[in-house]
Amino acid sequence: MRFLAKRLAQGLGVLIGTLTLVFFIFSFVPDPARELAGQTERESVVQAFRVKHGLDKPTHIRYLHFMSNVAQGDLGVSYITDRPVIKTIKDALPATLILAFVAMFFATIFGISIGLTLAVFPNARFGDLILSICALGMSAPSFVVAIVVAWIFGYLLHSYTGLPMTGGMITVDPFEGPRLAWAHLILPAFTLGIRPLAVIIQLSRNSALEVLAQPYIRTARAKGLSSSRILFKHVLRNALNPVLTATSGWFASMLAGAVFVEFVFGWKGMGLLMFNALERGDLPVVMGCTLVVATIFVLVNVVVDLLYGYLDPRVLQN
């Protein structure tokens, strides 16, 4: 419990620091009221907008008011739609979470499996080819990969794959009404999972090779344990720590990194919401999305720390 309380306290400090930094960055943005209203709008209308959203107050007063509202679960109101930010994010977040979960599941399962295979067969000819592809996957920007994947599988090979180039999680059928469109998830999830897949393959391979070289593995083989038992009971468990670190970091960053992927594929999630908010200068929505991403990042890291404690109890003593 002390370990958990310490990690939660550290996470709370990260959230407060993130909110403070983001708030003061946006406080230097030129007058959002005038920018949204336009240069030809009357000053009385612009001033009314400032008063409505508290932009007429000094920066430190707005900061204290903002932090007080956040503590009460109030993220403000959108400049554009005049809708509560928390409701706007609540509508968009499930689509992004589903996309991130599917992409991370795909990357983790295949990454660990391929990495362990490369470690067990280190001299195999296909190993160098896979590692070269991994290097390419890590270096390619997500928006470039998204465009290429959409063009190849959604346009050139559409008659074979049946996958659309764009589409959201929910489609409206004229006869059946709203329904989930799982086919729309395949291409964006594959695109989003390529980079973490490449990282996990290399981490799993390198970590497993280090574990396989340990004396207790040779002892286990000398005792006559089967290769599968050694691999899954000894190698896999001891090689997972760096993989867990990469998985936690990538999952949290996916929520922010999905912006371009969601934009290219038209996936109506929080990434697309943040992109549109930045484009239109809707600062409350941008700050709300940033808070949600930071909160998920902290919670994921706390869970990973607890998993570390399960895999290696010595961690709980730190």
**What's the whole-model pTM score?**
0.75
In this prediction, residues 113-136 reach a mean pLDDT of 78
Q: Is the pLDDT reported for residue 80 higher than 70?
A: yes
- Write the pLDDT tens digit of every residue in 285-310: 888 888 888 888 888 777 777 776 66
**pLDDT higher for 6 or 105?**
105
Instruction: Report the DSSP beta bridge partners of residue 179.
Output: 171
Separation CA 177–CA 180 (nearest Å): 10
Tally DSSP H helices, then E strands, for the chain. 14, 2
Among the residue ranges 100-114, 198-212, 229-243, the one predicted with the least confidence is 229-243
In this prediction, residues 176-181 reach a mean pLDDT of 70
CA distances from 29 to 22, 33, 34, 202 (A): 11, 11, 11, 42
CA distances from 152 to 132, 211, 220 (A): 21, 40, 48
In this prediction, residues 23-43 reach a mean pLDDT of 73
Percent of the chain with pLDDT over 70: 88
User: Which is nearest to 188 in space by CA: 165, 170, 171, 172?
Assistant: 165
Domain with CATH 1.10.3720.10 in the chain: 85-317
Among the residue ranges 11-25, 146-160, 233-247, the one predicted with the least confidence is 233-247
**In this predicted structure, what is the pLDDT of residue 311?**
61
CB atoms within 10 A of CB 92: 21
**In this predicted structure, what is the pLDDT of residue 184?**
82
CATH for the stretch 85-317: 1.10.3720.10
